[in-house]
A and B are shown apart, each in its own frame.
Chain A
Amino acid sequence: MSDGHSGAAPHASRKGYLIGFALSVVLTAVPFWLVMTGVLGSVQGTAAAIVALAFVQIMVHTLFFLHVNAKSEGGWVLLTLIFTAVIVAIVVSGSLWIMYHLNSNMMPMTDMQ
């Protein structure tokens, strides 16, 4: 089924999975270690570091476990992934942005309780 031509499942190798797994273990252990020990000192710095590590780990999983590349399904897999990523970014950042401003502009409720 998968001898050479661009079939459904790209040929996955044991080595590829193991590299992906090793990278994932490091990219998971480091953020937990940063938060549990607080070695970086600043909360802002730690937050930025763990968000950056999460994005790298999502890339690692997409490449090594989901085998997404520019050629799979004639490029449609990558195109739909990018489209979804754009929508996810708009939904999440847009919601946070709008609702943060709505909250800021609300009358303070604490005095009235």
Chain B
Amino acid sequence: MSSQAPSFYLIDEEEHHHGPGASTALGFWIYLMSDALIFATLFATYGVLSTSYAGGPAPHQIFELPLVAINTGMLLLSSITFGMAAIETEAGRLRATQGWLAVTALFGAAFVGIELYEFATLIAEGATPQRSAFLSGFFALVGTHGLHVLCGLVWIGVTLVQIGQRGLTLDNRRRIMCLGMFWHLLDVVWIGVFTFVYLLGVLR
């Protein structure tokens, strides 16, 4: 009886061969690609509006490149520390994973903090989102990215609680893998932001 197993057991076995995280990884990757499309529309909007100053400030008058460079460094450092967390996760070392995740969160929090400081300075100078189409596009694009980083920070916090309670289980490893893809994609988007918004803006 058991030798004539129904065919869906065979299919099930085939699925398990690829590991339980396999389909999740592809599904999450497709979500990330759709997120990239959101940023593409925001980049396109900013690109179209980037010279519509309406008599307000131009990029080279308000952007502080040293501040942006520090911010870029924070995000880059958080990427490599997340890489270390991923390696420790694969090696099954819980303490080291928690440590690297905490360091990643610190760099991420520094990034969000510096960005909020930059926004507060701009708004205090009168460069508010409602001042010109250029500034609307700027705050929409950079603000959406910052919001994503903030979501990533919440996610890291939740992950730390989860692995603190249950350790590096198969489910938690899969979650850390997805969080890693999310975090690294935000760094890729930031490359576009500092190049096309800040550096090209100051050059113009």
A binds B: yes
What is A's interface to B at a CB cutoff of 8 Å? 1-2, 5-9, 11-14, 17-18, 20-21, 24-25, 28, 31-32, 35-36, 43, 46-47, 50-51, 53-54, 57-58, 61-62, 65-66, 73, 76-77, 80-81, 83-84, 87-88, 91-92, 94-96, 99
Alpha-carbon gap, A12 to B200, bound state (A): 34
Contacting pair A84 B195 (CB below 8 A): no
Instruction: Let me know if B145 is at the binding interface, CB within 8 A.
Output: no
* Stretch binding the partner chain, chosen from B19-27, B108-116, B118-126, B153-161: B19-27
Question: Are the C-beta atoms of B37 and A1 separated by less than 8 Å?
Answer: no
**Chain B positions near chain A (C-beta within 8 angstroms):** 17-19, 21-22, 24-26, 29-30, 33, 36-37, 40-41, 43-45, 47-48, 65-66, 68-69, 72-73, 76, 79-80, 83-84, 86-87, 90, 170, 173-174, 177, 181, 184-185, 187-188, 191-192, 194-196, 199-200, 202-204
Which of B65, B72, B188 interacts with A58 by CB under 8 Å?
A: B188
In contact, A91 and B40 (Cβ under 8 angstroms)? yes
Bound Cα distance A13, B192 (Å): 26
Q: How far is the CA of A95 from the CA of B50 in the complex (A)?
A: 13
Kindly provide the distance from the CB of A47 to the nearest chain B CB, expressed in whole angstroms.
Answer: 6
With beta carbons under 8 angstroms apart, the residue of A31, A35, A95 that contacts B44 is A95
Return chain B residues, CB-CB under 8 Å to A32: 65, 68-69, 72, 199
Residues on A with beta carbons closer than 8 Å to the beta carbon of B192: 54, 58
Task: Classify the secondary structure of A's interface with B.
Answer: helix
Contacts of A9 in B (CB 8 A): 21, 25, 86, 90, 177
Q: With A77-B29, A87-B37, A95-B47 given, is the CB distance from A46 to B87 under 8 Å?
A: no
Contacting pair B29 A7 (CB below 8 A):
no
B36 to A84, Cβ gap below 8 A? yes
Query: Given A65-B79, A66-B184, A96-B48, A73–B195 Cβ distance below 8 Å?
Result: no
Which residues in A have their C-beta under 8 angstroms from that of B196? Answer: 51, 54
Q: Check A5–B18 contact: CB distance below 8 A.
A: yes
Q: A2-B90, A8-B22, A91-B40 are in contact. Are A17 and B83 (CB under 8 A)?
A: yes
Q: A35 touching B47 by the CB < 8 A rule?
A: no
Q: Are A1 and B29 in contact (CB under 8 A)?
A: no
Asked if A5 and B188 make an inter-chain contact with CB atoms under 8 angstroms apart, the answer reads: no
